Structure 1
Amino acid sequence: MTASTDTVAGLATDLRLPDGPGPFPAVVVRTPYDRRRHHAELRGWARRGFAAVAQDVRGRHASPGEWRPYENEAADGTATARWLRRQPWCDGRLVAVGASYAAHCALVLALDAPEDARPDAVIAAVPALGAADTAREPSGVERLAARAGWWAAHGDRRDSDDSALAKALAADPGLLTRLPVTALPERLGRALPSWPGLWRHRARGLLVERAEHARVPLLAVGGHHDHFTEDTVALWQRWGGPSARLLLGPWGHALTARPGPDARPEHRLDLGDLYTRWARRALAAELRPGRRGAVALGDSPLWTPAGTAGEPRAVTVRALHGTSFTADPEHPVSSEDLTVPQDTEPDRCLLVTPPLPRPLDLLGPAEVRLRATADTPSADWAARLVALSPAGAAERLATGVVRRAAPPGTRTEFTVGLGRLARRLPAGTRLRLEIAGHHFPAHARNPHTGEDPVTATRLLPSRRTVDPASVTLLLPALDSRPRPVDPAQEITR
């Protein structure tokens, strides 16, 4: 196996070649997270017969230039792809691979590069599709903690410090509570000139729209516990290439390296082996046309065909307390703590279901419909669904947040999407539904003044009333056991 470091398109690039004369198909990973972290991955690709390349994107680690997230990747990827195809050890076939921001790099190469530079196949895992897609929920509400963590670790710097925000919070636990949100760099003690500009990006889904024009096979990989699950599924659904495959398991953003509490031994896949098997078949045009894939059912050994979904079923919920409550941004409902305060003025509406009489399989999107009022012109409504085991243990299932603008005191009817569920709930489980005005620090606090939450400097409490008779919890229930599939076989069909 041959290893080398080179400068390609002015950017630091590492190469691993298989043993033998070649030429070989090539794999390229363009990343802001340090190409050296991918050496084991490159060796794995090379052992399986691929020339493997990892490159630091512009302005990161050993690559010169200015680091501007989501700006230069199509142009720099184009130069790199053209260089790869000119090499004597490359047979002209190219697979673009990446996870998180690196998935964005792979996707824009497939969608935006000139024809001669486009890859022949794409693997996009937990894709961070664009600035707005990562910074905002589909409803537009700001994802504060995740973006603050990413920008503190990687923004406007050549290197990375993955623990930067954690260390800052240890020194100053109130760091994220101080206003305005745009002044966070000052509290971190270093320059982050791109931080305020991040929040000016509001148009989500731009890359997914372009995915309709794709011409190559796609493997989209995600986790049920990842921030970007909905984007992963949307990419797969809209992909216009000859074939698209989806793999979703009970994992977080680090995929199999970070399994969720509902992961089972059957969910421990060898992703490296699966990626290379898929890539070989994609390059040989041996994949069946259309959309296929496999989705794991958490707390169950079952893998189901991608696209399987339960029918929306209304589940009875009973209000416990807080049909009238105060959403105070000075004391917001915590996104990190599932404990419900007792013997205090309610800060959320709390509802529960009866215990499940039998196991329930949920697969697909869930939502909450309700009628409610706020005494402020702008109001966020956060809905959190929690599973309570027969032993009383609480586990987060889903969360959704929407922003509503209406004249104070106006009773409005609206829906809060809870995202996708893929879970088996055992008999005896109760579901707790919380309806609140904040979900902090995961999401920025609505100041209730009508100002932008990231530039606001003043906070007001908001009095809320929920009509309990109007609350409808719709869950994607499977009426019968779906057809089981082998995920490796389904992905490579």
Structure 2
Amino acid sequence: MARFTRLAGLIADKALGLPTKAVPYEVRKDVAVPMPDGVTLLANHYRPSGHDEPLPVVLVRVPYGRAGAFGQLFAAPLARRGFQVFMQATRGTFGSGGQFRPFTSERDDGLATIEWLRKQPWCDGRIAMAGGSYFGHTQWAVAPYAEPPLTCVMPHITSANMTDRLFYEHGVPQIHTALSWSATIGRQERPGLLSSLPDPRDRARVNRALGRLPLQAVDVQVAGAPVPFWRDFVAHAEPGDTFWSQADHDADYGRMPPVSTVTGWWDLFLAGNLADYTALRAAGVEARLVVGPWIHGEPGELRTVAQTDAVWLEHHLNGGPAPTGKPVRVHLQQASRWLEFDNWPPEDVRETLLHLGRGGRLVTRPEESAEPSRFTYDPADPTPTVGGPLLAPPGKQADNASVEKRDDVLVFTGPALGGDLDVVGPVRATVHVRTSLPYADVFVRLCDVDTKGVSRNVVDGIQRLDPRLSADEPGPDGVRAVHVELFPTAYRFRAGHRLRVQVSGGAFPRYARNMGTPEPFGIATEGVSCDFEVLHDADHPSHVAVHVR
């Protein structure tokens, strides 16, 4: 068995791109940690063999299991490098007591675990945390509050703010992500060898369920039983509901220890991840960032996580050399090269405005006069989305022909580029709209049209219009300037290609359809069509702002 474990470790290290290193270690399973409310959480404790002295601890708090693939990917590789790792199952998962209601108890449970660890004779008081996605969130839930501070953290592919950046992106529920994840966590502990593996039928189940109304109980259709997270997600989406404030930890970045973070241009956490990095550096926190051409959990992303974690921990826990190169390293898509910067956003870029013009053109300056462009959004036939940042494939870039031929999508295309154009940094849009209803969404997408005319998405963003949310009321003519934050990017538009901007009233099923009424999205069954006028003249200069390098 020991020989098999060593062989499995060598294979895992090779897959992760880690130098082969085999420090012997022991695993103590089912270590019980009491919580203040009487619940007990279980963990697996990895410790280098033959060491009696206190050592620092790398804490990993995960809802997907302490052993199996997650143990092999996120704990064992660090243990083979001589680190002491404490991998804990979060509340209500894989033997830990209590109920798993995601994002609601991680601060209290995490702080109690850290306090317990520091009292153990095998812990020297120094604690780091590691992991991505949900167990990146478990780091944000405690790192700003731990006293004394943690030594360092590595919150990858995650965000300090879960409400505005993920659950309800700029007011719009991300239902595809929420239901897909609900399906996963709702079934992950059921008996059977294959219960924890991805099921190719899940995607079809989720899409079918999201096509039904109301959405309140569709978790049963994909998971076979109610899932507490989905019920919380649909019950607490209304303006002013403070339920999810316990999931947001971006109030004081200055209290964070040194941070190393990895994400991908097609990762659904990207925008929040980069906003966190910028805020950390502004607060004076030591931080590093890697952004690659990946969707959430892609193998290349996981390899980079493993490699950067090993260097970060060796430096901060063992006094090893600091990471080399500039603190920001990003992949320039369509150019097959990496760029390094001192800061994000980079400083050596200039803002360029792409104005919506007459006849579906993108122009360099607003036109003196132009008739508004019009479309109607019908929630009974919601505008679909293809590609983009999703929880799992299919995502990334896709042919947008099926969307762009619809009557409810406006398309504005620029001239063929005379040379390569590198867009690096934030992307934002301002769209002047008049809507027949006060409840509506504005979705903007920037695309790359190749020399054959194929249009592929690059970045996009959405903004909800809701009189209960927005402080900027329409003007006397009923027009409002809607500011849409698209995802940031580093992308080369090649010579001969064209830039294209889409404007529409939604992107379903990635986002919940806007029913045109104030009814909560989880119980809504009847919608009202909304007429849009998009103005793009000198007095209403609708545009997309990109940063060009």
TM-score tier after normalising by the smaller chain length? 0.7 to 0.9
Count of residues paired in the alignment = 464
- List gaps (5 residues or longer) in structure 1: 260-268, 479-493
Q: Deviations over 1:49-79 (max 9, x none)?
A: 2011211111012222211211222232233
Identity %: 27
Per-residue deviation at 1:327? Answer: 0.8
Aligned to 1:450: 518
Which aligned pairs between 1:281-360 and structure 2 lie closer than 5 A? 281-283=315-317, 284=319, 292-300=327-335, 301-305=337-341, 306-307=343-344, 308-309=346-347, 310-315=349-354, 317-318=356-357, 320=359, 323-336=373-386, 338-341=399-402, 346-360=407-421
Which residue, 4, 9, 16 being the options, matches 2:46? 16
SS of 2:112's partner is helix
Contact 1:348–1:434 (CA<8 Å) still a contact in 2?
A: yes
Aligned CA-pair RMSD: 3.1
Q: 2:185 aligned with 1:151, yes or no? A: no
Secondary structure at the aligned position of 1:181 is classed as coil
Matched, 1:112 2:145: yes
Asked whether the 8 Å contact 1:222–1:255 carries over to 2, the reply is no
Q: CA deviation at 1:365?
A: 0.8
- The question of whether the paired residues in 2 share the 8 Å contact of 1:325 and 1:345 is answered with no
Structure 1 residue 279 and structure 2 residue 306: aligned?
Answer: no
Matched AA of 1:389: D
Which position in structure 2 is the counterpart of 1:79? 112
Between stretches 411-420 and 310-319, larger displacement belongs to: 310-319
What are the within-5 Å matches in structure 2 for residues 87-126 of structure 1?
A: 87-113=120-146, 115-116=147-148, 118-126=149-157
Counterpart residue identity of residue 180, structure 1? P
Q: Does 1:192 align with 2:227?
A: yes
Q: 2:539 matched to 1:471? A: no
Contact 1:38 1:54 in 2 (8 A): no
> 1:387–1:431: 8 Å Cα contact kept in structure 2?
yes
Distance in 1, matches of 2:313 and 2:172, equals 37
Alpha-carbon separation, structure 2, partners of 1:78 and 1:369: 42
Cα distance in structure 1, aligned partners of 2:306 and 2:301: 16
Query: For each residue in 1:434-467, what CA deviation from the matched residue of structure 2 results, as whole angstroms up to 9, or x when unmatched?
Result: 1111110000011112333333221111111222
Classify the secondary structure of the residue corresponding to 1:278. Answer: helix
Q: Choose which of 479, 486, 498 in structure 2 pairs with 1:418.
A: 486
Where structure 2 has 5 or more consecutive residues not aligned to the other structure, the ranges are: 1-24, 34-39, 361-371, 388-398, 467-472
Q: Following superposition of structure 1 onto structure 2, how do residues 365-404 of structure 1 map, counting pairs within 5 Å?
A: 365-404=426-465
Q: Which amino acid aligns with 1:238?
A: A
Change in Cα spacing, 1:26 to 1:435, as seen in structure 2 (3 Å) is same
CA 1:6/1:169 → structure 2, altered by over 3 Å: closer, same or farther?
Answer: closer
- In 1, Cα distance between the equivalents of 2:501 and 2:528? 25
Distance 1:409 1:185, change over 3 A: farther
Structure 1 stretches of 4+ with a deviation exceeding 6 A read 203-206, 342-345, 406-409
1:132/1:198 contact within 8 Å kept: no
User: Residue 47 of structure 1: CA displacement?
Assistant: 2.0
Pick the aligned partner of 1:251 from 267, 271, 294.
294
How far residue 255 of structure 1 moved from its aligned partner, in angstroms, is 4.8
**Helix, strand or coil: the match of 2:201?**
helix
